[in-house]
Amino acid sequence: MKIIFSIGILSLIVISNVYGFTCKNDGFFANPSDVHTYYQCSSGVSYLISCLAGLVWNDTEKMCDWKTVDPITNCENSQQTNCYKTAGWSTDGTIIVGMDSERGSDSQHLSSPLGVFVDTHNGNNVYVADKDNDRIQKFLGSSLSSGGITVAGGNGVGSAPNQLDGPVDVYVDKDENIYIADYGNHRIQMWPKDAISGITIAVRNDTSHGVNYVTFLYSMFFHEKTHTFYLPDYFHGRILKFTNGSNNGIIVAGNNGDVSTFNSLDGPTSVFVDDCETLYVTDSGNCRVQKYVKGASQGITVAGGYGRGNNASQLNMPYSLQVDKYKNLYILDTYNGRIQRWGPNDNVGVTIIGGHDFGNAANQLMYSYSLALDSEGNIFVSDLGNHRIQKFNILPETITC
């Protein structure tokens, strides 16, 4: 918000009378004639300010939302105007934690950050699975750089209810309960809001190498609508779905060997599930993204699939992805040190972040592990090799929907 206000004020100050907006009191107000702008009243003077990137003013939240016209969710036919087709992001990231790229366990450091999650329901608070510190750190959306607050774990490595052992991913529901993929303990923990310990909602069943046995946990996707979570099972080349806390997974994709056929996955690292229960999987060994419509046993390649490499149609070990409501894919192309956007029917990707070799400069990534988008469209990256979290701001654009 601070950034939006300052840029807006610098570039778009307009005296009230021109637009006939009368300030009754100080604050922020909707512009009745344009959803993409709003008025700020200060000492009785009104300023017309544009929301960045075609964002829409939300008068309830008093902020610009990454909410254009909500597309109609039609699971049979996904044709819709793509409002984010041309969106761009700042070249340089802002470091919210891990400024010196060093490991550490104080509030300004992390040690091997893996999953990053943005709670778009609650002020864009950012959560990080701080693996080697065996804790989950929370960064307030309103003061991102003020340091992390430990909200789960942080009590040494172990399997007690108040401990974690190498957490790899985190998800927070609408009620701010925290779900953690607690890798070393082979369990999914749920820490209710403000709790000082967690409850195990699923464990790995070690008695067999059956469908509930996840060999190597890279990430977790929690589908709140169906109260289901999905785990990519890296070494078995498959995606498992666990319904409402059951210890027994159901295979929903892969399980056909580490090959590159349409029904196999080779080292899946993450999964994203949309409102239509369409699965998108980063098939890292095959350097592609596979899409499975609900119930399908065969995947369709929607990004990559041209071998390992760094040209526009290739990927190199994609580790994580997000999908927006217009079905644009944001793919963390880890070994290429970049983030690629693929539109719904694109044959090539566009580099929107990074692509400048590995390193710790503001425009670089190094073995980055996961990405998340906030409600304004800013992108957060867990930059594992640099033990930092980078934020890339969405830029203004002229196209609005």
> What residue ranges in 73-195 does DSSP mark as E strands?
94-97, 113-119, 125-130, 135-139, 149-153, 167-172, 178-182, 187-191
DSSP, res 51: P
In whole angstroms, what is the distance from residue 126 CA to residue 137 CA? 8
Kindly tell me which of 103 and 325 has the beta carbon lying closer to ligand NAG. 325
Q: Which is nearer to ligand NAG, 335 or 367 (CB)?
A: 335
Using the rule CB under 6 A, which residue among 244, 261, 297, 345 binds ligand NAG?
244
Cα–Cα distance measured from residue 85 to residue 2, given in angstroms and rounded to the nearest whole number: 25
Stretch that binds ligand NAG, among 1-9, 204-212, 353-361, 392-400 (CB under 6 A): 204-212
- For residue 73, CA distances in Å to 217, 272, 290 come to 31, 17, 21
DSSP 173: -
Read off φ and ψ for residue 17, nearest 5 degrees: -60, -30
Is residue 229 within 8 Å of residue 215, measured between CB atoms? no
CB of 310 vs ligand NAG, minimal distance in Å: 9
Q: Is 27 in the site for ligand NAG (CB under 6 A)?
A: no
CB of 395 vs ligand NAG, minimal distance in Å: 22
Residue 313 lies near ligand NAG (rule: CB under 6 A) = yes
* Site stretch for ligand NAG (CB under 6 A), options 14-22, 78-86, 187-195, 203-211: 203-211
The residue ranges of DSSP E strands in 296-387, in sequence order, are: 300-304, 318-323, 329-333, 338-342, 350-354, 370-373, 379-383
Q: Which is nearer to ligand NAG, 58 or 111 (CB)?
A: 58
32 is a site residue for ligand NAG (CB under 6 A): no
Is residue 261 involved in binding ligand NAG (CB under 6 A)? no
Identify which range of 24-32, 172-180, 242-250, 361-369 contacts ligand NAG by CB under 6 A: 242-250
- Asked if residue 67 binds ligand NAG (CB under 6 A), the reply is yes
Least CB distance from residue 155 to ligand NAG, whole Å?
A: 26
- Return d(Cα 308, Cα 350) in angstroms, integer: 16
* Segment contacting ligand NAG by CB under 6 A, of 55-63, 163-171, 234-242, 267-275: 55-63
Query: Binding residues for ligand NAG, per CB under 6 A?
Result: 58, 60-61, 65, 67, 205, 207-208, 210, 227, 244-245, 247-248, 306-307, 309, 311-314, 348
